[in-house]
Structure 1
């Protein structure tokens, strides 16, 4: 039976409409889909530990409960460490506030002397900027609070996903025809391996960056170096963007706690050096070697994820693109899309190859004509 071929413009319209509808649904159901997405990725990560506990003859529910307890204990330990640092940081806020006020007054005098803008106008400009930014701050705060309120659902989702993982896998196999079962199994296995490797690599990279940040700030004498170093490493989880934002906090702390600009320049130089090591050594060998996504697609994906789901979308964008690449590479009609997502740069363009083929065919035709 011959299948009907539709015109390209009609196919493109249907695909575009499908993408628009998918993005709209994902945006409207963000409060439900975000914790489900995080739970799915962490369930895949914890599945290996859960399977090992099951092989030790533990009942399934007990193995899942122990796995979640270990994961919760690790996360709680990190938050306890950060909270203790934050409490000690709060004790010095009055001193830092006074120092910051002095710096602001010096800055006002500098602007008045060199630009002729008096203090009253400067305050007016600052108030206007603060008022215009209130909506943005409020929106960001609501997003963060909404995400934190849904975090309590993630352990429940993880538990249920681990409990019903065989049911979910069997459903995926039964959706597709039996002749595609081998390809489906390959996609599921590679997706699981990619997600596990990516998250483990990301956590390893974060720990190394946190140690380097804290060590650099301790050597430079910046107060609360460990807290600021860990926060900078967490911000670095946002690919290509968080690392630049993370420089602002230690520079501000150095400005408040030290006179002159030597420490600030030292902080900027140290962070740039750490970013160089991270982008050229750690990421290619620990993270990108597991998820081979090129830099252009990574940046676009992070920005699109931020536009769709905010901060959560920025974190989820790279593993989501990695899953798409695995699926695209296994489907013949979608292989070009898988290639554009990857970082394997061809040595020759297809246009050049086609040109050589056409020239060779033309030469063969000339040979045939001359021989006849």
Structure 2
């Protein structure tokens, strides 16, 4: 006699149930984003700080103090970066009136050229500009809202990080006990693989960002672009946002060079140099520095980055790749889910995670 638990339901029943389940899951993730986003970032930070905490504990430093010292070191590094950026931005603010005046002058020249050469009336151009401005303001407002949403719960990050590091043994034991002693070695393998992949990925990203910031700044200084160090550093930070960040990183110095120079030679040179830096980054820096044990193919990378952006904004774009990397590790260790792991992975074993690049 067949039990209900072994009953196989037809596809036309299972498919809608799966879709409804996915919809509810994503809807819940969207509703809880103000709680889950800082918690997700805190998890990544905790994984990154865990080796330092363990090293301090080996010197017989009590665990709470080891965690506090590790977080204090991380806070000092972050404060140094913020101080550097704020000092550069304050200097940049003095140039805003000049940029605004030059931008209006260039816009007027472009409008007259379009009216004469393309036959587009000034009124039609004005309407198009207003429409683009309104759409741009909405997008900028959405992006800033996402950023300030994260900043609004910024105080939760150190609390989450401290507690995750403090109770990591309890959390790990809970995972072990949930799957039973028979699967302990299997679960341990998954946890170790996940921790190693995420640590190497995040540490590699930080090193890569520093290298790209130096290369960008040197290139812009050679080309004589104003505020080269600020633009180079911002470009490297924006490069952390998969795909979209790289385009914005190029657009900023090009815009500054366009409004501060009479010729278009410098903006064209900036595009060429940044493309060269991107090539070096993708083919030299990423394979050597951002080496990861997990390979995610480009198609899945683009899809999950866009889905992450739609779900959690800019934060979702950044978190999407580590999240999919964790999923792939789990799928690869479960027989029934191995096909999904192959779907997420790159068929070429020589490729590494390069999904935050393009």
The TM-score, its normalising length taken from structure 1, stands at 0.88
Partners of 1:217 and 1:267 within 8 A in 2: yes
247-256 vs 118-127, greater mean Cα deviation? 118-127
1:311 aligns with 2:314: yes
Deviation at 1:298, TM superposition (A): 1.2
Q: Over alpha carbons, which structure has the higher Rg?
A: 1
Q: Distance in 2 between matches of 1:282 and 1:298?
A: 19
Matched, 1:215 2:218: yes
Counterpart CA distance in 2 for 1:163 and 1:70 is 17
- Give 1:195 shift: 0.8
Note the 1:273-284 alignment, pairs <5 A.
273-284=276-287
**Residue 131 of structure 2: which of 128, 133, 139 is its match?**
128
1:217-267, CA deviations, whole angstroms, 9 ceiling, x for partnerless residues?
111001011111111111111223321221111111111111111101100
**In 2, Cα distance between equivalents of 1:218 and 1:134:** 31
Q: Is the 8 A contact 2:238 2:245 kept in 1?
A: yes
Residues of 2 paired with 1:98 and 1:36: CA distance?
44
Q: 2:6 aligns with which of 4, 26, 34?
A: 4
Q: Distance in 1 between matches of 2:215 and 2:136?
A: 33
Quote the residue 1:203 is aligned against.
Answer: 206
Which of 224, 239, 242 aligns to 2:245? It is 242
Range moving further from structure 2, 139-148 or 119-128: 119-128
Q: Show the counterpart of 1:349.
A: none
Aligned residue pairs total 346
- The correspondence of residues 1-372 of structure 1 with structure 2, limited to 5 A, is 4-7=6-9, 9=11, 10-345=13-348
Q: What is the alpha-carbon distance in structure 2 between the residues aligned to residue 133 and residue 264 of structure 1?
A: 22
Please give the per-residue CA displacement for 1:156-185, whole angstroms capped at 9, x wherever unaligned: 100111111111111111111210111111
- Give the C-alpha shift of residue 132 in structure 1: 4.0
Q: Indicate the structure whose relative CO is greater, using CA pairs within 8 Å and at least 6 residues apart.
A: 2
Per-residue CA deviation, residues 275-304 of structure 1 (Å, 9 max, x unaligned), is: 111122222332254432111211111111
Cα distance, 1:127 vs. partner? 2.0
Q: CA RMSD in A?
A: 1.8
